[in-house]
Amino acid sequence: MNKQETLQMLQKIQAGAISPEDALSKLCIEPFSDLGYAKVDHHRAMRQGVCEVIYGTGKTQEQIAGILANMKENGTCNILLTRIPQQTADFLAGKHIPVNYHPIPQLGIAFPDEERPRVGNIVIASGGTSDMAVCEEAALTAEALGNQVTRVYDIGVAGIHRLISRLDILNEARVIVAVAGMEGALASVVGGLVSCPVIAVPTSVGYGANFGGLSALLSMLNSCASGVAVVNIDNGFGAGFLASRINQMRGIK
């Protein structure tokens, strides 16, 4: 049960549509389920507005299926599965667990809610096509959380005229996620051109001594453009989640 559903239930109590006792029984559902290998947090949506996200790396297919089944029993849908391979998605399908799987970012959405409305405008911008896996992780995360997303890919500063040609789209954004490897210059350039917050995502893309994305991370942390915040290397999920929080803090633009 998320915050909106909790509010609706309280309004029903106020209107006399349900009894306080019935509401109490719903609220007193165990706040987490102990599956032995995982403690599934059922009250996260009530606290944070978003249900628990399953990080797939290091979990077995059976563990992921068990967590999903438990969450579904508690009425949860649109469950994000990050960093899972195609084999895991196929395994879940064999267990009759519906998952919209996206192979480029290795991200799935279990029990998808296709009717959920999307609000605002988040722009995901990439330095190059090689950054697309991280971009798509951010974009799909934001979409699953109820945000309108516009993708603007391959506008890196090596051909800055490509970026300038998309300024109209960038200036319409409520928040921009700028994803880049190499020297990570995209975030600084975008940050100096727009008035909205920019979330910079360094990627591990790059030649030689880029140190697995550390060079891009340090460049973004040292950006001279105001209004740029930085998440960890290749953390598209974290950027998409934070962008969603910013995008949904006020009414539709």
> Long-range CB contacts (< 8 A, 24+ apart) of 55-61?
55/82, 55/83, 56/81, 56/82, 56/83, 56/84, 56/85, 56/88, 56/106, 57/83, 61/87, 61/88, 61/91, 61/92
Question: So what's the pLDDT on residue 21?
Answer: 76
Question: So what's the pLDDT on residue 253?
Answer: 45
Pairing of strands 175-180, 198-202: parallel
Ranges 8-12, 70-74, 188-192: which has the least confidence: 8-12
Q: What is the pLDDT of residues 114-128, one digit of tens each?
A: 778 899 999 999 999
Label residues 51-81 b or e (16+ Cβ within 10 Å = b).
bbebebeebebebbbbbbebbeeeebebbbb
Higher pLDDT, 219 or 31: 219
Confidence of residue 11 (pLDDT cuts 50, 70, 90): confident
Domains of the chain, by residue range, sit at: 3-8+16-110, 119-247
> Taking 70 as the threshold, does the pLDDT of residue 4 lie above it?
no
> Taking 70 as the threshold, does the pLDDT of residue 239 lie above it?
yes
Instruction: Write down the mean pLDDT value for the chain.
Output: 89
In this prediction, residues 28-48 reach a mean pLDDT of 76
CATH of domain 119-247: 3.40.50.1970
